[in-house]
Amino acid sequence: MIAVIQRVSESSVKVKGEIIGQIDHGLLVLLGIEDADTTEDIDWLSKKIVNLRIFPDENMVMNKSLLDAGGDILLISQFTLHASTKKGNRPSYIKAAKPDFAIPMYEKFITALESDLGKQVQTGEFGADMKVSLVNDGPVTIVIDSKNKV
């Protein structure tokens, strides 16, 4: 699993012109799922995201986690995170999981995040044409690949 994590002061996602997910202070998480992903990847990445110390403390040092800061999560599925650009100019998405595998994994990831965060996670719509808006706070953007956890 690959996650692009952005600390935001606000973020929302629209499908067909209607806002279906929205947060204020927290994290926008773009999630790419591949066939090699497991429930171990879900558990590890979920805990990593909610405990990542990227929010400022009283001295403006990035020392607080999302849990400490009381923020929310907007989770968006994004298969293009697994794009291979090694050959030619047209990205290949062969590593990205197909919907029959990716959707259940995405749903399990939502459940894991909600359990680790202790509240509901806002989401986009899997496979939909989404319009994502955000105000990146910092800016702070971090990329985590669960295959590089060692």
Q: Where are the domains of the chain?
A: 2-86+103-138
Question: Any bridge partners for residue 130, and if so which?
Answer: 15
Portion of the chain with pLDDT greater than 90, in percent: 93
Point out the catalytic residue in the list 38, 39, 80, 141. Answer: 80
pLDDT tens, 45-86? Answer: 999 999 999 999 999 999 999 999 999 999 999 999 999 899
pLDDT number for residue 149: 79
Helix (H, G, I), strand (E, B) or coil at 106: helix
pLDDT number for residue 37: 97
pLDDT(138) > 90: yes
Question: Any bridge partners for residue 66, and if so which?
Answer: none
pLDDT number for residue 150: 72
| Preceding peptide of 139 cis, ω within 30° | yes
Q: Considering the entire predicted model, what is its pTM?
A: 0.95
Please say whether the structural domain 2-86+103-138 has been given the CATH code 3.20.20.70.
no
Q: Verify whether residue 80 is a known catalytic residue.
A: yes
Q: For the chain, where are the E strands, in sequence order? A: 2-15, 18-23, 26-32, 55-56, 62-64, 72-77, 122-123, 130-145
Neighbours of 92 (CB within 10 A): 13
